[in-house]
Structure 1
Amino acid sequence: MDRRSLLAGLGTAGLGVSLLPIAKLSAAEGQGGATIVYSYLAAWNFHSVERAARYFSDDVVYFDASVGEPVVGKEAATSDVVANFINAVPDLTWGIRGAPIVMGERVAFEWEFAGTNTGAWVDGTAASNKRFRFPGASVFEIRDGLIVHQADYYDALGFYKQLGWI
């Protein structure tokens, strides 16, 4: 995906956070896996499970600090994480705050995730029909153009409170 398509897609997703200016995106493109991560976020913001899954290696490890146990493998990460969130929050937005930190094939950034929980969660939890917005940070490792590790750290307590679970 070229830079203009990516930015257009992110812009039409209605993100409520400021996106990287084109100049910063251009600078990040030459830094390892940043382009992969930008494209992966665009797939989430297009609400496309299949598109997002294309960025995972077959043996990807997806760590969500609020869960504690990593999800291992492309199929599990796709169904248990990506499809879970996109189906439960069909209007989700996931936007980068500021510029990412890129070191070789590792990319880290702060983000904001928002949406309305109108669908059931994969564990059977019913939709709350409540709007939420919470900050977080992610660290990615990219190898051979694919995500081999993703770790997400966020305000799970605030998220759960907004959904009315606590």
Structure 2
Amino acid sequence: MASVFFPDNNESLKSLNNKELLVAVNDAVDSKKNSMLVILDKKTLDTKRKIVMDKGFTIYKINVDKERVTIVSYEGEVKTFNKDLKEISSEKIPLHFKSDDERLEEVKILGGKIYALVRMFDRDKDGVIGRIIEYNIESKDSKEISLKSDRDWEMTSMEVIR
């Protein structure tokens, strides 16, 4: 059986430049194939090239800005590429999952910083239901804010406003 690749969310398609589109896809059927970035010609939609991610790197979010392409995995790994898609760096956001009860719920990438919302399925004894982690790509500094609630969350969403 051949693997079937899908974009994971509505932000998996980005304009790389005037001539190319960038699509992030994961093997969503049997998870045996590595995730990929697929570069398409904007006029013809023909595949120009594919960049295969490392084993275990499941693409969660991509961001394209003036200088770089930043990719975050579900596991909190960050890969940074230049505009020619040559890898510049690979690192890990300090998500510090405390249990199997936590997962990466949302990621925003803005101005050289990554904002990650880590959600817990059940509140802990102190009422903490999640955390927001701010990670600076350049300095590698991170800050964490605990989120408390008096009830469990059904759904979560995060928007970063500057």
TM-score after normalising by structure 1: 0.32
Structure with bigger RCO (C-alpha 8 Å, 6+ apart): 1
Length-normalised TM-score, structure 2: 0.32
* Structure whose residues are more often helix by fraction: 1
